[in-house]
Structure 1
Amino acid sequence: MYATISPSDLTPAPNPASVGAQRTSGAGRVSFKVNAEGQTRLDRLYQQGCAKIRLPKVYGGKAAEAVLINSAGGLTGGDAVSWHASAAAGTYAVATTQACEKIYKAESGVAHVANHVCVADGARLDWLPQETILYDRAGLDRTLDVQLEGNARFLAVESLILGRLAMGETLTQLAFGDRWRIHRKGRLIHAEAQRLEGNVAHIGAARAVLDGHLALATLCYCGPEEEETLKGLAESARTMMAPFEGCTVGLSAFNGKILARLTAVNGMALRAALIPLISHFRAGEPLPRVWTT
């Protein structure tokens, strides 16, 4: 026997225009400590939502690795992810990403990424995510907040690729903001704010901006070395970068840090210059394996 269903008994399908699109969110936290043998080991790990963290075995290097993964495969307007990395006294750790982060076209709003780093006295942490690829009409608001104690060492690299270059994509509209704040013993030692908004292809063509280059990166090293030592490191890095074609590099050493700006014709040229530059400031420590596989 079959029941009769009238049209009035049916629940009407939701109107797509009245339903907000699903957004992704995630939070990942990792901290490191020293074991009885003086080796850097995992202390605590927390992951929620799309934020995943993996800890691969490291061969041939001293630093423990944390590989940050956005399991959503990319970000768009309204998405939000936060990462926290901490290194206790005597540890050496590196945080990187499994792949390039992709920021897709946003119908509305921007994606939010908040990065937090704490490095104890006598510890070192290297923040080495792979490149972020910005698609046309993408929106991203990103922050990096770093707290250093005592003689902590910290190396940070953030890279951008403007558009899907292999597909000939041109960025006609973009909203990108990136803010860094680095403190040592509670005192602000580095602050910067970068913003690319509007027709980036047109803005970036200016010689004083990107000179037509489609990839850029910032590297910052903060350490306890004397000023003359830092200037020597910067000078040797400047000499190392001279042979790289299709890439412009500027380096400065001041106030207990070294700052480098790079622009390149494409992501391949940028990475070719970045890899030896990063290795230079890591005293020969090998790059995370995900960078080369």
Structure 2
Amino acid sequence: MSAASSPSESSPQALQTLRVKGGVRAAFRAGPRGTFAATVHEADGWRVRFPDTGPGADCEAVILNTGGGIAGGDEVRLDFDLGPGARVTATSAAGERVYRALDVPARIATALRLAPGSALAWLPRETILSSGARLARRIEVEMAETATLSLLDILVLGRHGSGERMQAGMLDDLWAIRRGGRLVHAEAVRLDGAIADALARPAIAGGAHVIGTLLHVAPEAEACLERVRREIVGLGDVEIAASAWEGKLVLRALAGCGGRMRAAMQVALDALRGAPMPRAWMM
């Protein structure tokens, strides 16, 4: 007698054939009519699309995962290379879901390179970790002294809208941003086990399960601080603060709802960039 089993109940060996090794690699160059994608490579269900933003606007790149989420053992690489003077706003079509894993974590590696005079606004929608998800993520940036980077990250740990707390799981998150060959920003976060219990501690998140980070690295970053602070001071439903030093501005936020976090980050980004959010954020 035999019974059918779902993929989540199958052996790691059986799941190996289902695992994704995909991503997007794109190189951007500045031309007489603005920035354009000079080369694009898409793999294993990952795509990038370029909406028409009109003359004089930055090139907009929208990343799509046609697989509908990321599972344990999947490996994703996002690689963007901006040539001198290129201006790109990159986002995603929807929030990225990371599903429960049996053992092997999902891996997401993001590599960004910014040549002199280039500007990249890396503004993906939120990353949503289901209870039991295991995610190892790496973000590495190599940028010139005169380049500008605005990098947004929103993590939703547990789908509270569905009544789910992150009772188990793992997040291993490392960032390294180098400017002119020098390390100017690094982050290392590891949460393992009962993540919801850890987030309940006042010294960690005080019960919030949505974590937002906005990093702005640019020659004028410190001059933007007071303008950003003026705009975020009235956001009472989100714990939020900003500081700036040595050519970078860092904004941290905690919230109990992904929608409120997105709204707060839109306010901060508008004050920082003075440019509209990508159209994918309005959908």
TM-score calculated relative to the size of structure 1? 0.89
CA distance in 2, matches of 1:104, 1:18: 15
CA contact (8 A) 1:216 1:264 kept: yes
Partner Cα separation in structure 2 for residue 264 and residue 102 of structure 1: 18
Please identify, of 175-184 and 234-243, the stretch whose mean Cα deviation from structure 2 is larger: 234-243
Indicate which of 201, 211, 217 corresponds to 1:222: 217
CA distance in structure 1 between the partners assigned to 2:91 and 2:137 by the alignment: 16
Residue of structure 2 equivalent to 1:36: 32
Aligned partners of 1:33 and 1:42 also within 8 Å: yes
Partner of 2:239: 248
Gaps of 5+ in 2: 1-9
Aligned pairs (5 A) from 1:19-168: 19-21=13-15, 22-37=18-33, 39-59=34-54, 62-168=57-163
CA contact (8 A) 2:30 2:87 kept: no
CA contact (8 A) 2:95 2:125 kept: yes
Runs of 4+ in 1 over 3 A off after TM superposition: 16-19
Residue 263 of structure 1 and its aligned partner are, at CA, apart by: 0.5
- 1:107-137, Cα deviation, whole Å (9 max, x unpaired): 1110000001011101101111100011000
Distance 1:248 1:150 in 2: 32
Give the secondary structure class of the aligned counterpart of 2:197: helix
Aligned residue type for 2:126: E
Q: What CA distance in whole angstroms lies between the structure 1 residues aligned with 2:79 and 2:200?
A: 36
Contact 1:62 1:285 (C-alpha < 8 Å) held by counterparts: no
Q: Distance in 2 between matches of 1:253 and 1:219?
A: 12
Amino acid at match of 1:165: H
Structure 2 SS opposite 1:43: strand
Please tell me whether the aligned partners of residues 78 and 111 of structure 1 are also in contact (alpha carbons under 8 angstroms).
yes
Distance 1:32 1:102, change over 3 A: same
Higher alpha-carbon deviation: 22-31 or 54-63: 54-63
In structure 1, what is the Cα distance between the partners aligned to 2:82 and 2:27? 6
Cα RMSD of the aligned pairs, angstroms, is 1.5
Q: CA deviation at 1:19?
A: 4.3
1:28-56 deviation per Cα after TM superposition (whole angstroms, max 9, x unaligned): 1111112234x111211111112211111
Separation of aligned partners in 1, 2:263 and 2:56: 21
Which amino acid is 1:290 matched to?
A
Kindly provide the CA deviation profile for residues 227-282 of structure 1, in whole angstroms up to 9, marking residues without a partner as x. xxx44421221221111122111211011100111101111111110111112221
> What is the Cα deviation at residue 61 of structure 1?
6.9
Alpha-carbon distance change, 19 to 220 in structure 1, aligned in 2, over 3 angstroms? closer
SS state at 2:14 partner: coil
Assess if the C-alpha contact under 8 Å between 2:79 and 2:110 holds in 1: yes
Offset of residue 182 of structure 1: 0.6
Distance in 1 of aligned mates of 2:218 and 2:12: 53
Q: C-alpha displacement at 1:58, in angstroms? A: 1.2
